[in-house]
Chain A
Amino acid sequence: MQIPTELLAKIDEAISHYPVSKRSASLPLLHLFQEQFGYISDESIAWIADKLGLEQINILELVTFYPMFRREPAGKVHIRVCRTLSCALAGADDLKTKLSEATGIHCSKHHEGFSHPPEVSPDGQFSIESVECLASCGSGPVMMINDDFYEAVAPETIQEILSKYK
């Protein structure tokens, strides 16, 4: 597996934060790989396990446990919408419906289950995922687009917000 030198440097830096146990670097390495490649492939799992002196299952079981890790790519623009109670009271359901209309993604309603893996638009541009409380309940409904955070999102501003990511 081809690892860019820049990523290698970040990997070594991350491992150095855990002088007692290299295994502790599993989550940081998974984050680095997902940022670089968009998802966690079998190859990545094998590479990380080898690097940290672990069995591949030790890494795979993390990918299947922690909801943020993906086994397949999300859209270029990944949208996370909070579905939990305070945001639901503030209109999260409506927000998600409007987002799915704007992006052409068919989304299940919040109480029909979770969107793991995230639902991706046919052109691969957008994906939407329902997530749990993002710790900004006083300014719902809230969402994240990639790493950016949006609060008190009014459905009529969605087009404008999304256009920044075209």
Chain B
Amino acid sequence: MPAPRIPHPREKRIVFANIDREGYTPDIACYLRNGGYEDLKKAVKMAPAEIVAEVKTSSLRGRGGAGFPCGVKWGFIRPGETKPIYLICNADESEPGTFKDRYIIHQDPHQLMEGMIISAFALNVHLAYLYIRGEFPQGAQILEQAIAEAKEKGFLGKNILGTGFDLEIYVHRGAGAYICGEETGLIESLEGKRAYPRIKPPYFPAVLGLYQCPTIVNNVETLCHVKHIVRMGGAEYAKIGKPNNTGTRIVGVSGDVVKPGYFEIEVGSMTLGELINDLCGGLKPGRTLKAIIPGGSSAKVFRAGEKFKIKSKAADGSMVETEIGVLDIPLDFDTMAACGSMAGSGGVIVMDDTRDMVEALNNLNHFYAHESCGQCTPCREGSLWMQKITDRLLAGGGVESDPGLLESVSNNIAGKTICAFGEACSWPTMSFVAKFPEEFAARAKKQVPPPTPPEFLSETLIGAGH
């Protein structure tokens, strides 16, 4: 095991405050010694609607990938709903490049418990599930232990803290399928079926979710933030970060940097360049930057040296346009989107000049081809095609038309499928081929085979009476 990391001075640790802290253990005694469950005690004295209002005020955006405002999602639950309402914590963490929920689950599980119990109280939920990916067997055990401990102390179960509020939380393990991270696939999986994402509308499980009842699905990190919002108050929380991009978030940097790792930063408080050069120690000696995937493997890749035109508000309120480079992009949701990619799940993958972009794309194409659930033809066939074409390019069989073919296949998936996996699997191919055309062209040298000579066409052969 690598040695525990000391937080970088430019980090602002809220959710990760206890991660890698010397002497901090995942048991409830340690959590209570550190002020644990005090926010729950505060929350149960509030009206549920008040908590929802605080979350709205905080402008918290989901940390699972889509960045959807959490308070807005919670607001979809109708007041006076008569059906049972369910809460699901999405701990499927499987977007390549993303590594954050793992540490909360393994090192600070009670923080997640407290966030979940507060959220369940706010949403009038009495049965909640924690969907954890199958490859976290130890994480599942730790969470089960945390649930038992919380129950024993009266934070969970019947009549929580004497309020009359009942809640059960159960851990549900996945079994190795990435698509279980997509919330409606997750719900199908929790119902004991194949994780086939559901056809929209309804667009939100908050309308029809688990067992056809209103269901809120939130990421692990999102639910942890709720606890801190209750402590600070929504307005105070919203002062962290930038408007519409509030709070802190955990970013994970992997790939070709000197010190890869995870950092909790104030949203928008630093640029991609500062993250890579200051927090991660820059690139390895003698290497130069080639590409960055900024928000999990599905986010569109940036090429070193790219420029973007960004609109922002000047002091006098007028809109000004400025030109920025890749390394100047602030780490927030909106600017990242304005530059044509996304902040996504916070996983930043860095590649230097020694890397072959066709190989990198091929690696991701294998991932997507393997993980497509297979319901939609464009996604099932297209992801496999993209894999096979990049396989062919690597094997030396690339023909001149291959880059164009990759482009055409990827353009025919996004927007034509049941779930956002369609976008997720096509964006890497679209962006790699568009931004590194010379690398694809260099591997696509073979002439397209000439058409079959007329005398060998089957029609001719049959017609000739052979």
> Residues of A with Cβ closer than 8 Å to B?
17-21, 23-28, 30-31, 52, 58, 61-62, 65-69, 80, 83-86, 88-90, 110-111, 114, 131-140, 144, 147, 149, 151-152
Contacts and interface: CB of A to CB of B under 8 A. Distances in A.
A142 to B, nearest CB: 10
Chain A interface helix/strand/loop/mixed: mixed
Contacts of B138: 147, 149
A111 B96 contact: no
Given A24-B192, A65-B194, A137-B349, 6 more contacts: A17-B172, A31-B175, A52-B192, A65-B195, A85-B297, A135-B135
Contacts of A88: 363
Given A21-B192, A86-B255, A138 B360 contact: no
A132 B94 contact: yes
A139 B178 CA distance: 20
B134 A31 contact: yes
A30 to B, nearest CB: 7
B94 A135 contact: yes
A107 to B, nearest CB: 15
Contacts of A137: 96-99, 252, 254, 260, 347, 349
Nearest to A69: B175
A31 B192 CA distance: 12
Interface string B350-369: 01000100001011101100
Contacts of A135: 93-94, 98-99, 101-102, 133, 135-136
Interface residues of B, number: 58
A66 B176 contact: yes
A49 B255 CA distance: 45
A133 B176 CA distance: 10
B178 A86 contact: no
Contact of A27 (B93, B175, B254, B355): B175
A152 B2 contact: yes
A23 B191 contact: yes
A66 B135 contact: no
9 smallest CB-CB distances across A and B, nearest first, come from A66-B175, A68-B176, A86-B254, A23-B192, A26-B192, A67-B176, A137-B254, A68-B175, A133-B96
Nearest to A85: B363
A161 B370 CA distance: 29
B99 A89 contact: no
B371 interface: yes
Contact of A138 (B99, B176, B362, B371): B99
Contacts of A18: 170
Given A86-B255, A88-B363, A111-B362, A66 B174 contact: yes
B191 A140 contact: no
